[in-house]
Each structure stands twice: as C-alpha cells, then as structure tokens.
Amino acid sequence: MHPDDGPKVATHRSWRSIVPRWLRHGLLVFLVLLVIEYLVIPELVGASKNLHLLSRLNIGWLVAGIGLEAGAIVSYALLTRTLLPDGGPGLFKLVRIVLATTAVAHVIPGGAAGGAGVGYRLLTANGVEGSDAGFAMATEAIGSALVLNVLLWLALLISIPLAGLHPIYVVAALVGLLALFGAATLAYALTRGGEVAVRVVRSVGRRIPRVGADRLERLVRQVGDSVVQLARDRVILKKALLWAGLNWLLDAASLWSFVTAFGHFVDPIELFAAYGIANVLGAIPITPGGLGVIEASAATLLVSFGVTRNIATLAVLGWRLVNFWLPIPIGGVAYISLRVPRGAGLRAQRQALVDMAADAKRPGQGPGADPTTEGATP
C-alpha cells in the first residue's frame, strides 16, 4: 500500500494561522484609526466650538449624573453577588472587582473577554470556587445583554408613536430580536442535549481566537444550565433581573442628567432608545468599550429627538468621561487594592498592574475555562 493511502486526519486551520500577525495588527490599528478619524475627532472638534455652554452648566445635575453612574456600578456588583453562592465576597470587594474588569474592557478591543479573565481570577482569589465564578460571570454577561435588548425593545415600541419610526430602529429591533431568539433557541437546544446545537457551537468556537470548540461548548452549556437553575429559583431570578435592569437604567439616567445639566429636558423614553441603540452598536468589538461608536451614535440620535447638536455632543462626551474614561484609572487602583497588601511599596503596585495585563491576555481563565484549572488562586 502506498504510504499516502493511509487514513487522513482532517485538520482545521484558523484564520490566525493563515493571516500573518503583522497584517492582523495592521488591520486592527487601521480600524481604530478609522473610527477615531471619522467618529471621535469630529465630535471633539464640535465640542470645542461649544465650550461657552459650560458657563451655564447646572452643577447639581452634573453631580447627580456622577452619582447615578456610581449606582450603576454598584448594581452590577449586586448582580454578581446575587448569582454567587452565599453572596461571595463582601460588596466593597465586588465593586472593586467590577471596576477592575471594566478598566480592562475599556482598554483593549474586544475587552469583555479580557475583563472576564481578570474578574474570574479576582473572584477565585477571594474564595469563590472556579465553577461558581464561571457560572456567575457567564450568566451576568449574557443575561445583562439580553435585559438591555428587552428594555430597548420596550423603549422603541413606546417612542415610535412619540417620535416616529427612525430607520435605525428597524436595525436595532432586528438585532435585538435575533439576539433574544438565538439565545433562547441555543439554551433550549443545549439543555435538551441537541447534538446539532453542540456541533454548531463547536464549529463557531474553532473559529474564535483564544477560545476553541471545547471552551465555547462548556461556556454555552454553563449558560444553559444557569438559565435552568435561575428558572427554578424565582427569588434569585427576580433579584438578578432587578439588578441587571437597574444597571442599564441608572447608566441611561446618568446620560439623561448630563443632557439636563445643559438645560435641555429630553423625554426619558426617547433618551433610552438612543442610549440602547448606541450600546448595541458599541458592543461590536471594533474599539474598546465602543469608543467613538457610542459617542457618535448617541449624539446623532439625541439630535434626531430634538436636542441641539452642541448640547448633545457636550452631554454625551461628559457622560462618557464618567462612564468610559474614569473607570480606567479607578479600576487600576481597585485591582492594586485587591492584590497588593498595604505598605507593599510602589514596586509591588507596578507589578500588580503588569499582572493585571497578563490576566487580561490569559486565554485559560474566565467563564468556560478548563475545569482542571478552575478554582486555582493566582
């Protein structure tokens, strides 16, 4: 028999092995620069021409916006606490963990995965079992996104009679509907042991860098199991929905306060429609935390609801200063406070930040990680 006539093993080559590394990085930098050039810079230039509006800024509404943003962070920490057995670490620690994961998510493109890795390791380092940490993080991430889509759908249905049907409403509604339908179908199929769903998930996982078929299958099964568990425990389900909803509503209320601080009262339903659409568009992992995308889309939609361009631009940029930029340094400090003992010195603090970056890049941790490594402290 010819040596080549033996059984052949199919191999799967990922796109990362085909596209050179320098080209991948070049494309990423190009996309980031493109967003900055056409979305961020025009907003900043427009804002610079309207700085005279700051003289009539209402400080009370500004402080309220900052307080509401802080409330949104606390709500997400309470969501985590609700999903952890016995509440997990104390609330103050959970708030710091949320801030640290948020900081990572706001620094690197597609940072949600990196933030999950940091959050997972911080939870396990504070006494949470690996499986419980993975369950909580997977459930809150996907569940929170679904809650946003439900709230957005409600806002769109209410705002259409008030402000008319905008073309982008159709896109946002379809994306939200597909997300809800896809999540429900996949969770149902996996919890029922559907082999077709398993094959689809594994096929998708093989094409996602640093994830893989096994890890994605574990993650989706974990989410499916969490849905079943939450459905059985109505008390936890109601609490989880409450905190997830408050997280989005308080964040949107913060944006409303920033708009109001400039003397313009916008309809809360219309504002949430603009806020929800901007966050759905910002979830596309082109820039960290939707940088540029959220600013441009939120300001444009607010203008379509009657807010003047100068007020919409300044209000959105002010809100994003608190919503996006401020958690980065605060999250770094929070990570140091969790990992470095008091009085350890500047060198230890710098090393903690290096470890934070390493945790963000570590593919083996976070929801869906290999169960043989779960629960290990860093």
Report pLDDT digits (tens) over 203-228.
Answer: 766 665 555 667 666 666 666 666 67
- The CA distances from residue 157 to 81, 267, 275, in Å, are 32, 14, 15
Q: 130-160: b or e for each residue (b if 16 or more CB lie within 10 Å)?
A: bebbbbbbbbbbbbbbbbbbbbbbebbebbe
Give the pLDDT of residue 96: 94
Quick one: pLDDT band at residue 244, thresholds 50, 70, 90? very high
Does pLDDT of 200 surpass 50? yes
Interhelix angle 327-339/346-361, rounded to 10 degrees, is 110
Taking only the tens place, the pLDDT of each residue in 261-299 is 988 888 898 899 899 989 888 877 677 778 888 888 899
CB atoms within 10 A of CB 343: 6
Give the pLDDT of residue 365: 44
Taking only the tens place, the pLDDT of each residue in 108-131 is 766 566 677 788 888 988 888 887
Q: CB-hemisphere CA count at 13 Å for 353?
A: 12
Instruction: Report residue 83: phi and psi, to 5°.
Output: -90, -10
208: closest CA among 11, 16, 12? 16
**Which residue's structure tokens are 């939450």?**
230
Give the pLDDT of residue 179: 63
Give the pLDDT of residue 119: 85
299: closest CA among 281, 314, 280? 314
Which pair of structure tokens corresponds to residue 302?
């607010």
Q: Which residue has the higher pLDDT, 368 or 256?
A: 256
Quick one: pLDDT band at residue 15, thresholds 50, 70, 90? very low
Give the pLDDT of residue 95: 95
Interhelix angle 309-320/59-83, rounded to 10 degrees, is 50
Give the pLDDT of residue 1: 46
Helix (H) / strand (E) element for 349: namely: helix 346-361
Q: Which residue has the higher pLDDT, 197 or 295?
A: 295
Does pLDDT of 191 surpass 80? no
Measured between alpha carbons, how far apart are the two ends of the chain, in Å? Answer: 53
Give the pLDDT of residue 8: 43
3-class secondary structure, 321: helix
Computed over every residue of the chain, the mean pLDDT equals 75
CB atoms within 10 A of CB 170: 11
**Residue range 64-87: mean pLDDT, rounded:** 93
Taking only Cα atoms into account, the Rg of the chain, rounded to an integer number of angstroms, comes to: 22
